[in-house]
């Protein structure tokens, strides 16, 4: 069940192999995390070996929960596995749904639990090179403009988040307690 993720097939949520989910464009559960320091967002450049959207810039962490795993458990697990970040305590921001062509004949049709982590200090990242090629901190408003000027540099889901869901994701940022 390690590569099985929750997807809807004929209206029922069942475990389906991750690659099959994307090739069939099945609606499935996902998690996205945005780690912020002030107005700066920690981005990751996806590793060259990723089976879709390689070398594109994306939010801090994005993945699929394992079968039976909660969104917050998944967020914490993948912050550690992808970015080498522990004990950040992200807060739930919202749930979004989108559908996007991610290339190589694959579709992401995700129901995404989005988490936001507001930090006082920038953490030390030790990204997993199998997952992440590079990281950088970018001002959120500069990033929104950059995704419009150079959309081919950014993962489709990040462009969708920043075009259609900024208020849902970041609108409550000033109300959230700083985690660390």
Domain limits, the chain: 4-175
Provide mean pLDDT across the span 11-16: 94
Residue 172 has pLDDT above 90, yes or no: no
Write down the CATH number for the domain with range 4-175: 3.90.79.10
Q: Does residue 1 have a pLDDT over 50? A: no
pTM score, whole prediction: 0.92
Q: Is 125 a catalytic residue?
A: no
Instruction: Tell whether the torsion through CA atoms of 15, 34, 107 and 111 is positive or negative.
Output: positive
Question: 78 and 35 in contact (C-beta within 8 Å)?
Answer: no
Distance from CA of residue 127 to its chain's centroid? 15
User: Cα(152)–Cα(16) distance, rounded to whole angstroms?
Assistant: 29
Give per-residue pLDDT as tens, 125-139. Answer: 999 999 999 999 999
Reported as a single tens digit per residue, the pLDDT across 103-153 is 889 999 999 999 999 999 999 999 999 999 999 999 999 999 999 999 999
Question: Which of 62, 74, 108, 117 is labelled catalytic?
Answer: 62
- At residue 179, the pLDDT reads 41
Q: Tell me which of 82, 110, 117, 131 is the catalytic residue.
A: 110
* 110 in catalytic set: yes
């Amino acid at each position: 069940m390690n590569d099985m993720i929750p997807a809807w097939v004929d209206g029922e949520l069942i475990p389906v192999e991750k690659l099959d989910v994307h090739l069939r464009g099945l609606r499935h559960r996902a998690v996205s995390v945005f780690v912020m320091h002030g107005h700066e967002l920690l981005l990751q450049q996806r590793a060259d070996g990723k089976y879709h959207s390689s070398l594109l810039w994306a939010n801090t962490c994005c993945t699929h929960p394992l079968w039976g795993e909660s969104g917050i458990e998944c967020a914490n697990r993948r912050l550690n596995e992808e970015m080498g970040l522990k004990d950040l305590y992200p807060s739930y921001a919202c749930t979004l749904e989108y559908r996007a062509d991610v290339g190589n004949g694959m579709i992401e049709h995700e129901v995404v639990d989005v988490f936001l982590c507001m930090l006082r200090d920038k953490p030390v990242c030790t990204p997993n090179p199998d997952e992440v090629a590079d990281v950088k901190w970018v001002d959120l408003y500069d990033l929104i403009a950059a995704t419009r000027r150079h959309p081919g540099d950014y993962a489709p889901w990040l462009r969708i988040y920043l075009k259609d869901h900024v208020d849902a994701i970041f609108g409550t940022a000033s109300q959230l307690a700083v985690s660390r």
